[in-house]
Amino acid sequence: MSEIIDHIVEQHHAFTRIQLARLKNLSAKVAQIHGIRHTELFQLENILRDMASEMEGHLAMEEGVVFSYLKLMERIMAEGKKSANPFNFLSQNSHPLSVLAWEHDMTGDEWNEIRRLTRDYTTPVDACESLKELYRGLRALELDIHRHVHLENNILFPRAIKMGILD
């Protein structure tokens, strides 16, 4: 699990942080210049600003709470020891895995709206290079987030549950 976690943090989290900051700035620039002709760019700018803020909290929770706990428990179990699950006292709705899964779903909804606003990343005929780069960057970030979420939801978290680390 530690290797998967390190990969997620070093590859996907780093890429997400860099791209969201870059795309948020690029979106603001493009909306200011082309927003009069393409009003959807203002909505896109708002979604990206909100998504960047949400993702910062999400990534911090993964790295600071869930991933740290998983790595610690993996080490403890490798030594043949046991430890209590600190999340057992939480309700199903406030359990970190439930919160993360809900946030993954919310991000999916935001990407659906981004694809709708961008017509599946089809740039307008009068698009400048910055607008084209924005759409390329959005597509690349969405694909990376899909891989990132797949690793967590379908590999890492089920493995932790199977090991009895999270339940």
Q: What pLDDT score does 75 carry?
A: 87
Q: What pLDDT score does 80 carry?
A: 81
Domain assignment of residue 167, yes or no: no
Q: What pLDDT score does 47 carry?
A: 94
Mean pLDDT within 68-85: 80
Q: What pLDDT score does 92 carry?
A: 53
Mean pLDDT within 138-158: 93
Domain assignment of residue 68, yes or no: yes
State yes or no: pLDDT of 166 exceeds 90: no
Question: What percent of the chain has a predicted confidence (pLDDT) above 70?
Answer: 88
Q: What is the distance between the alpha carbons of residues 69 and 147, in angstroms, rounded to a whole number?
A: 22
Domain assignment of residue 11, yes or no: yes
For 24, the domain range is 2-162
Domain assignment of residue 80, yes or no: yes
Lowest pLDDT segment from 79-83, 106-110, 114-118: 79-83
When divided into structural domains, the chain yields a total of: 1
Are 149 and 104 in contact by the 8 Å Cβ rule? The answer is: yes
* Three-point CA angle 32, 110, 2, nearest 5°: 115
13: region left, alpha or beta (phi > 0 left; psi from -120 to 50 alpha): alpha
Provide the pLDDT confidence category of residue 34 given band limits of 50, 70 and 90.
very high
Are 117 and 40 in contact by the 8 Å Cβ rule? The answer is: yes
Q: What is the distance between the alpha carbons of residues 63 and 26, in angstroms, rounded to a whole number?
A: 27
Domain assignment of residue 16, yes or no: yes
Q: What pLDDT score does 124 carry?
A: 92
Render 63-127 in DSSP notation, one character per residue. Answer: IIIIIHHHHHHHHHHHTT-----TTTTS-GGGSHHHHHHHHHHHHHHHHHHHHHHTTTT---TT-
Amino acid at 46: N
Q: What is the distance between the alpha carbons of residues 79 and 141, in angstroms, rounded to a whole number?
A: 38
State yes or no: pLDDT of 44 exceeds 80: yes
Q: What is the distance between the alpha carbons of residues 35 and 31, in angstroms, rounded to a whole number?
A: 4
Mean pLDDT within 104-117: 86
State yes or no: pLDDT of 140 exceeds 70: yes
Higher-pLDDT residue of 33 and 163 is: 33
Domain assignment of residue 49, yes or no: yes
pTM exceeds 0.85 for this model = yes
Q: What is the distance between the alpha carbons of residues 15 and 141, in angstroms, rounded to a whole number?
A: 8
Mean pLDDT within 8-25: 97
Encoded tokens for 124: 């307008």
Q: What pLDDT score does 128 carry?
A: 94
